[in-house]
Amino acid sequence: MTLSDELIRVLLADDHAVVRAGLKAVIANARDMLVVGEASSGPEAVAMAERLKPTVVVMDLSIGEVDGGQATKLLIEKGIPTRVLILTMHPEEEYLVPMLEAGASGFLPKTAADAELLDAIRAVARGDIFVRAQAARILAKGYQRKDPMQEERSRYERLTERERDVLRLTAHGYSAPEIGSQLFISPKTVDTYKQRIQDKLGLSHRHEYVQFALRLGLLQA
């Protein structure tokens, strides 16, 4: 194993070059880390992560039209083997739980970056969830008041627009040829979308589609 194999490979994603330079300077003091790239937008961060396969992406939440939360979801949907540490000026009270639910592995305010950034990156890199000790109460409260349907809504939101169309039409009782006719795709392609829905949601029979759609309000009882 080479030295580079042992290093934590870090991708910095922030739309301010000055901020990236500051983070890079902090990481330069860590002998077990290497900054492998810098991105200034969400789409650029996703593309670079797909190409560079960093261990950790340090992601600003407010990074443009495709924000850090959306970029994190895209990384997960694409199956890119990296972990995301959200580093932001936004308050933990408002964003901590949503970002963890979006797939982030850690959340750190920029005000604490000088003191805790390296520890946060190491924790996320080894597969742990990183939040500040003072944020534990926020995390607990967030999950206590969590909508019991939130998990299913989050799973539904991971579907593509076309997969949602197929789910809805199947729940309404349309056959694969009928769905294909409405969506201008072949019945075989409809079956491919159904397989993807099964992989993502575990739905295989029409009655399961109906029950799922009713629970999320996609159909009227």
Q: How do strand 33-39 and strand 8-13 relate by DSSP bridges?
A: parallel
- Total of domains in the chain: 2
- φ/ψ bin of 53: left (φ > 0), alpha (ψ from -120 to 50), beta (otherwise): left
Answer yes or no: do 165 and 57 share one domain. no
Q: Which of 11-25, 51-65, 137-151, 167-181 has the lowest mean pLDDT?
A: 137-151
pLDDT of 78 over the 90 cut: no
Structure confidence at residue 93 (pLDDT): 74
Q: Is residue 221 part of a domain?
A: no
Looking at residue 149, its pLDDT comes to: 67
Is the same domain home to 10 and 106? Answer: yes
High-pLDDT (> 70) share of the chain, %: 90
Q: Identify whether residues 124 and 183 lie together within a single domain.
A: no
Q: Are residues 94 and 111 in the same domain?
A: yes
> Final residue of a domain: which of 144, 160, 175?
144
User: What are 100-155's pLDDT values in tens digits?
Assistant: 878 888 899 888 888 899 999 999 999 888 888 777 666 666 554 555 567 788 88
